Amino acid sequence: MNLYDIIFYLFAIITIVSATFVVFTKNIVYAAYNLLLTLFGIAGLYVLLGADFIGIVQLIIYVGGILILILFGVMLTNKITDVPIKSGVLQVIPASIGVGMLAGILILIVTNISWRNMELTVPESTIGSLGMLLMNEYILIFELLGMLLLIALIGAANIARK
């Protein structure tokens, strides 16, 4: 087991444990902080996979942006001292059947496919090639994302104002 493997398992454990906490903890503030750990763990995995740019963007957008928004949401809609959240379960039987089937299918495909010709090819840095793709092939989508964010901004401001 080399260093890469150890770091992978470290990040994987952080991600799994904190993701479980996000969903099952009774305290919404803990859930939000565990989400921080999950997002951080995933950023680490991105870096391990050689996606340096995406790893940084994950930290900036998710941890720096979306998580802060969520925390604001938590604080504006709850008293900060531990608020127990109801975890009443809706439609137990169909839900568990659905989730069980989903998990089963995913496990089956991951275990049954022979991945032997898949080797991790770590490129040096992806920023250059990503930039080329963004500015050439995917320029239309890139521009449209700007539009989408603008519209989301206007819409959010319109709904949230008094």
Q: Output the six-digit token pair for 127.
A: 């920023």
Give least dist CB 73 to other proteins, A: 4
Give least dist CB 81 to other proteins, A: 16
Q: For the stretch 23-42, what's the b/e string if a residue is b when 16 or more beta carbons lie within 10 angstroms of its beta carbon? A: eebebbbebbbbbbbbbbbb
User: CB burial class (10 A; 0-12, 13-18, 19+) of residue 154?
Assistant: exposed
Q: Judge contact between 7 and 39, C-beta under 8 A.
A: no
Q: What is the rounded CA–CA span in Å between residue 154 and residue 33?
A: 28
Give least dist CB 12 to other proteins, A: 5
Nearer to other proteins, 82 or 134 (CB): 134
Give least dist CB 82 to other proteins, A: 13
Q: What is the rounded CA–CA span in Å between residue 77 and residue 97?
A: 33
Q: Output the six-digit token pair for 4.
A: 């890469």
Q: Output the six-digit token pair for 77.
A: 């809609």
Give least dist CB 97 to other proteins, A: 11
Residue listed under structure tokens 């920023």: 127
